[in-house]
Structure 1
Amino acid sequence: MARTLKVAAAQLGPVHLNSKREETLARMITLLQQAAEFGAQLVLFPECALTTFFPRHLIKTQEELDTYFEHNDDLLDSPNTKPLFDEAKKLDVDISIGFAERTKEGTGYNTSIYYSVKKNEVIAKYRKVHLPGTKEPFENPDAVNQLEKRYFEIGNLGFKAFRVPDIIPGVLKKGDESKAERNGLGDPIMGMLICNDRRWPEGWRCYGLQGAEVVLCGYNTAGFAPDLWGTQKPMTPQQAEDDAVFHHKLVMQSNSYMNSCFSISAAKAGLEDGKYDLIGGSCITSPEGHVIAEAKGKDDEIVFAEIDLNECRQGMEKTFDFARHRRTEAYGLIVERAGVVEPELL
């Protein structure tokens, strides 16, 4: 049985501090319409898609900070997001989008959600676990800051895979006892990561152990941030950006391969606020680790591919058949220890 999906990453060019929400939303709707013209059934938008990437700024008042967060419990009814979901419903296209979430209790999270058109509801939510950077800005006034630890709490929803309903016709459903082998025959299994999460293999493996076939990852990655990354040798901004793009593709390709899944990554890209360069590099990657589609530049752009989820089965059932080959008794340190403890000196 064919289990094919037409998917797209909606890369966004720069969104500035003074960009109006309605203008950004209009750009996102245009991208959604373009993806629909390709035949996309699913469109992924970047991390913190609705605003500039505000964690690079030291924001001094709660009033200003609140303008970057989505406070409405129901995104489908919020004036900041409702037009996007209405258009998705009109076009019959599922969407996943990243945004800054403020809970009823006042807690901030870097969040992404998955909206199912067939259900007309948000069926999954993920909150970013691996928050990079620092809580206080660097002393260097020219540094590119990353203050997510200041504005967000660590995600508390874990890495929970989910099935997307009714996006592929004819798949196996609960209660169908006619098939002895059910793996890889049901509705697509997906997971979500956000930006820095993609660099940490633990999250990917959690999804792999749930049979995830597609991992969605929105991100904002700086092209040049030596204060944040550190450098072993001096680099020009272009060299640093080339390295950042290389590392982005490296983690998407390697983790897709090691967990036998497709991945879709969607960036914000270009020069935000006149000085902060974001790398772009949105791409779609196969379970064999190949980039099968990628962005050509740093502007608003649709990256599209038709994928066959049956391609996940070879890795899941052969090289990375976890049930046969994983040795959990040998991996204790992974959950027992967070930091590095070297062996004693000789």
Structure 2
Amino acid sequence: MTRKIKVAAAQVGAVHRNAIKQDTVHRLINLLSSAAEKKVQLVVFPECTLTTFFPRHLFETQEELDKYFEHGADIAQSSDVKPLFDEAKRLTIDIVLGYAERTPEGTGYNTSVYFSAAAGEVIGKYRKVHLPGRVEPFEDPEATNQLEKRYFTPGDLGFPAFRASGLVDDAVKKATAKEGESTVGRGDPIFGMLICNDRRWPEAWRTYSLQGAELLMFGYNTGGNMSHLWGSKPMSPEQARAEALFHSKLVQTANSYMNACFSISAARCGLDDGKYDLIGGSAICSPEGHVVAEAETDEDELVVAEIDLAECRQGKEKTFDYARHRRIETYGLIGKQTGVVEPDLL
């Protein structure tokens, strides 16, 4: 059986530090309207979509910092952002939106949510686990900072897979499933979310894979020249940008293949404030590791593809067949050690 969905990555170009949030939301609604014209059912927006990527800046006051966060428990009811969710519901398009979340208790998270048009509400939430960067800015005034460890707390929700209704025709439901008949790969789609740096960590993908995830979705803000952060060998800005794009595509294609799932990556891109280069490279990838659609610009752009979730079965049931081939008795180190411990010297 086929289980086709038309999906899109909504790449978003430069959002400057002084950008008005309502104007940015209007840009997102324009992308959503374009998606509706193309009969897209699911749109993935980038990490921290609503503002410039503020962790590159050092803020002197909490008041100044808090302008970049969404406050309250329900992002779909935020006065600035509600028009986007209302339009998604009206157009019957599911969306994934990344934003900076400030909880009622005052904790800051780098968050994304899944809004189901069929349900008319947010049905999934994810908080970024692998925070890159530093707490303190670099001493070099020319360095591009990455202060996520200063402004965010590591996510506390784990990697929760979930199902979304209204996307696949004839999906088997609990009430209609026949007793004794396998429903694997026949129900509503199984999704998972990551954010930016999480995409580089195979443990995150595998945790979702063990829940049967058929599509992973993530946004990112990846700098084109972050030499101070990565400590890479000297290279020109052009070389650094090409390397960043290469690695972004590499982790998406490789992990999609190794976990037999589709993936959608949505980038912020362009030159924020005419200075901070973000790589773009939004893409949709197949369970065999092939890029089926990718961005062609460094501007607002909709990257669209029709995918068939039935294609996940080959990898999940043949190539890997985790239930038969995984040897968890040998993987103990992964769950009990963080840093590297080398063997004793000879």
* TM-score (normalizing by structure 2): 0.99
Q: Which runs of 4+ in 1 moved over 6 A?
A: none
| Greater shift in the superposed pair: 57-66 or 162-171 | 162-171
Kindly report which structure 2 residues correspond to 1:121-132, keeping only aligned pairs within 5 A, or say none: 121-132=121-132
Secondary structure at the aligned position of 1:76 is classed as helix
Partner of 1:294 in structure 2?
294
Kindly report which structure 2 residues correspond to 1:53-202, keeping only aligned pairs within 5 A, or say none: 53-175=53-175, 176-177=177-178, 180-202=181-203
Residues in 2 aligned to 1:37 and 1:213: alpha-carbon distance in whole angstroms: 25
Gaps of 5+ in 2: none
Residues in 1 aligned to 2:190 and 2:241: alpha-carbon distance in whole angstroms: 33
Partner of 2:327 in structure 1?
327
Secondary structure at the aligned position of 2:70 is classed as coil
Partner of 1:217 in structure 2?
218
Residues in 2 aligned to 1:39 and 1:193: alpha-carbon distance in whole angstroms: 25
Q: Does 1:272 align with 2:275?
A: no
Kindly report which structure 2 residues correspond to 1:220-299, keeping only aligned pairs within 5 A, or say none: 220-231=221-232, 233-299=233-299
Secondary structure at the aligned position of 1:96 is classed as strand
Superposed displacement of residue 275, structure 1: 0.9
| Identity over aligned pairs, percent | 65
Gaps of 5+ in 1: none
Superposed displacement of residue 166, structure 1: 2.0
Superposed displacement of residue 210, structure 1: 0.4
Contact kept? 2:22, 2:81, Cα under 8 Å: no
| Greater shift in the superposed pair: 6-15 or 160-169 | 160-169
Superposed displacement of residue 2, structure 1: 2.0
Kindly report which structure 2 residues correspond to 1:15-34, keeping only aligned pairs within 5 A, or say none: 15-34=15-34
Deviations 1:49-70 (A, max 9, x none): 0000000000111001110000
Superposed displacement of residue 169, structure 1: 2.1
Amino acid at match of 2:50: L
Superposed displacement of residue 72, structure 1: 2.8
Residues in 2 aligned to 1:76 and 1:157: alpha-carbon distance in whole angstroms: 19
Residues in 2 aligned to 1:101 and 1:76: alpha-carbon distance in whole angstroms: 12
Amino acid at match of 2:97: I
Residues in 2 aligned to 1:110 and 1:146: alpha-carbon distance in whole angstroms: 13
Residues in 2 aligned to 1:282 and 1:36: alpha-carbon distance in whole angstroms: 19
- Number of equivalent positions: 345
Amino acid at match of 2:67: T
Superposed displacement of residue 179, structure 1: 6.2
Superposed displacement of residue 77, structure 1: 1.8
Secondary structure at the aligned position of 1:251 is classed as helix
Contact kept? 2:46, 2:218, Cα under 8 Å: yes
Contact kept? 2:41, 2:92, Cα under 8 Å: yes
Residues in 2 aligned to 1:320 and 1:250: alpha-carbon distance in whole angstroms: 20
